[in-house]
Structure 1
Amino acid sequence: MDAISKQDLIREINRLAHVRKRTIVAIAGPPGSGKTTLAKELAAELNVKSAVLPMDGFHFDNEQLREMKLLHRKGAPETFDAVGFVDLIQLARQGGALRFPTFDRTLDATVPDTGLITSDTSVVLVEGNYLLLKTSPWNQLREAFNLTVLLDVSQQELETRLIDRWLKHGFTLNESRDRALANDIPNALFVLEQSTTPDFVLGTGPSPASRQ
């Protein structure tokens, strides 16, 4: 496991993309670590056609989470359709075009078939909290990835970003702090404790709390 800068990561992905038809890159990390921002930046700066595939589209719907008595834990591993996500990533590795669900934060709901990977997409940047988990079925993802990156950020910075995220959704400071500390931070610690060793670690450092 080696530390890597964003520019070196871009060079490494470009190198891999030129020796295979499709390269699948995992960008993993705790909530608030900067996965969404980094994935979008990479997609814009790579010199091959790429697409971002977020894990968030595989959240179970709120109604289903209520039935499972897991709505208060939304964002934890058990609140995702992990089997469906694994199947999609394995399909993406095979090449060809496919659609996938995305997540609308305003609606707090998944939206089917709104994401698209075209047949000429060379690099798929998969971003999500649990891409490197050791537990089944998440651990089946590892064989589908050509490159894995774990984002590194201090717990203090994560707390700041996550509280700010809830504030931007209209919650009070106390409500935002409660949501971040009661659910988001435990999920973040779980990611760090239960993930396998990545190929590279990239530090995001102090940066705007808008990072996802």
Structure 2
Amino acid sequence: MRAERASKPDLVERARALIPTHGRAILGITGPPGAGKSTLTAVLLAELGPEVGHLPMDGFHLADVQLDRLGLRDRKGAPETFDVDGYVSALSRLHSAPDSVLYVPGFERDLEQPIAAAIAIPPSARLVITEGNYLLLADAGWEHVRPLLAECWYVDLSDDVRRERLVRRHERFGKSPDAAGAWVDQVDEANARLVAAARDAADLVVRADGAAPRV
């Protein structure tokens, strides 16, 4: 069953109900670039405490040296610029080895590069939240993600607010205003349309305002 405009306490309790007694469950948070996936994830992690771990999809960005080799540097952030097989393998290992520490890469925004083994997910994390754009895609290897998730929530935000947020983000990390706007128009919005096409496959659609899920 899908619902919209769930309150913050409802979202926290819905996530808490996914924590299993044994083994692990994975909650996916998806949505287009700039929708607020990381904001919602941070809220859940803060409220749910040490039983919950975090495995961001962004850590599986291909490094720039690989993007240059593949001729994909100008499409950084598109589905083909991620190590989808490595991401699926990490998600699978959460289920197959729940009593082991899992080390996964993080993504350093200041460098715009993945950092190997930056995140450790301990056995005590019985629920792991993974957030990223492409959790509901149905091809190119991404189709193996959804079966590994207990639920997948889609964060929705008005396009105007989302685009404005993206431009500010790119400026904050070094792009000029013109370059930031061009990147949003030419790269981010193509990715956003791809993500939005899979919206109806989500278990829950969370309506967001400019900063957080609506309460």
| TM-score, normalising length: structure 2 | 0.91
- 1:62-73 equivalences under 5 Å are 62-73=64-75
Is the CA contact 1:133–1:195 (under 8 Å) kept in the aligned structure 2? no
TM-superposed deviation, 1:187: 0.7
Counterpart residue identity of residue 33, structure 1: A
Unaligned runs of 5+ in 1: none
Unaligned runs of 5+ in 2: none
**In the comparison of the two structures, how many residue pairs are matched?**
208
1:184 equivalent to 2:188? Answer yes
1:167 equivalent to 2:168? Answer no
1:123 equivalent to 2:127? Answer yes
Name the stretch that deviates more: 125-134 or 192-201: 192-201
Is the CA contact 1:151–1:201 (under 8 Å) kept in the aligned structure 2? yes
Q: Which of 10, 13, 16 in structure 2 is aligned with 1:14?
A: 16
How many angstroms apart in 1 are the aligned matches of 2:135 and 2:87? 10
The equivalent residue for 1:88 is 90
TM-superposed deviation, 1:47: 5.4
Aligned residues with identical type, % of pairs = 33
CA RMSD of aligned residues (A): 1.6
How many angstroms apart in 2 are the aligned matches of 1:128 and 1:61? 17
1:104 equivalent to 2:105? Answer no
Measured at CA, do residues 159 and 59 of structure 1 come closer, stay the same or move farther in structure 2, by a change above 3 Å? same
SS in 1 for 2:55: strand
Q: Which of 42, 45, 53 in structure 2 is aligned with 1:43?
A: 45
How many angstroms apart in 2 are the aligned matches of 1:48 and 1:109? 27
SS in 1 for 2:17: helix
Write out the 4+ residue segments of structure 1 that deviate beyond 2 Å after TM superposition.
18-21
How many angstroms apart in 2 are the aligned matches of 1:198 and 1:93? 21
| TM-score, normalising length: structure 1 | 0.92
How many angstroms apart in 1 are the aligned matches of 2:130 and 2:8? 16
CA deviations 1:119-149 (Å, max 9, x no partner) are 1112100010001111131111111111110
Is the CA contact 2:12–2:44 (under 8 Å) kept in the aligned structure 1? yes
Measured at CA, do residues 66 and 185 of structure 1 come closer, stay the same or move farther in structure 2, by a change above 3 Å? same
TM-superposed deviation, 1:21: 3.4
Counterpart residue identity of residue 167, structure 1: E
Measured at CA, do residues 169 and 50 of structure 1 come closer, stay the same or move farther in structure 2, by a change above 3 Å? same
The equivalent residue for 1:30 is 32
How many angstroms apart in 2 are the aligned matches of 1:109 and 1:60? 8
CA deviations 1:79-105 (Å, max 9, x no partner) are 000011011101112313210011111
How many angstroms apart in 2 are the aligned matches of 1:64 and 1:88? 20
